Amino acid sequence: MSAKGTSPIRQVLVWGALAIAILVPLGAAALSPQLAWRGPVYISAGFAGIVAMALLLVQPLLVGGYLPGLSARRERQIHRVTGGVLVAAVIFHVAALWVTSPPDVIDVLLFRSPTPFSTWGAIAMWAVFAAALLAALRRRLKLRPRSWRLAHSLLVSVAVLCSAMHALLIEGTMETVSKAGLCALTVLATAKVIADLRIWSVRP
């Protein structure tokens, strides 16, 4: 159900809940004792990853019209901008990790890393890039709306699921409970918008 036309109280509750879902994991990570043993580049890489996960939560909320007070046009505009910021956050995340340990990043990109969370992260990264590229080339590819919608939704779903697995398997800066909550909300929001908008529907 769209959030359009909701009461002011509900608008405050919705936006407040979103703020809590994003700020609590960030705040918990900022207070992590593990930061004392990490360099600034590594820390910035970790927080870029958290920001990327938070943006993955915002994106389906914009698509589904679940954020009150925004027109459909405004939602589309913010969705595009947020998608660009998401790509930038992922690139920064990987680039900063490269600075700290190039061999490890090469192993991840080539799927040679022995750590399972690295594999999930690499898949998520390529899925994010592919979804963004597909969106940027939408008009040039001249795909049918339904075909484009299915392809984009599939790539986004892969990115969300793999990002959640990547985050959950890492024992790092993020606090366990808040991390699990953010991942769960992101997966649920993505599943809800796909179900509500009937992405798979053959109807125009």
Alpha-carbon distance of 204 to 199, in angstroms, equals: 10
Mean pLDDT of the chain, nearest integer: 91
DSSP state of 34: G
6-40: b (≥16 Cβ within 10 Å) or e:
beeeeeeebeeebeebbebbbebbeeeeebeebee
Q: pLDDT of 38-82, one tens digit each?
A: 899 999 999 999 999 999 999 999 999 999 999 999 999 999 999
Which helix (H) or strand (E) segment holds residue 92: the answer is helix 72-100
Q: Where on the phi/psi map is residue 144: left (φ > 0), alpha (ψ -120 to 50), or beta?
A: beta
Q: Could you please report the per-residue DSSP string of 191-203?
A: HHHHHHTTTT---
Indicate if the pLDDT at residue 2 is higher than 60: no
How high is the pLDDT of residue 1?
Answer: 45
Amino acid identity, position 16: G
In the chain, domain spans: 8-196
More confident residue, 139 or 82: 82
Band (85; pLDDT cuts 50, 70, 90): very high
How high is the pLDDT of residue 200?
Answer: 65
Q: pLDDT of 90-126, one tens digit each?
A: 999 999 999 999 999 999 999 998 899 999 999 999 9
Alpha-carbon distance of 134 to 150, in angstroms, equals: 11
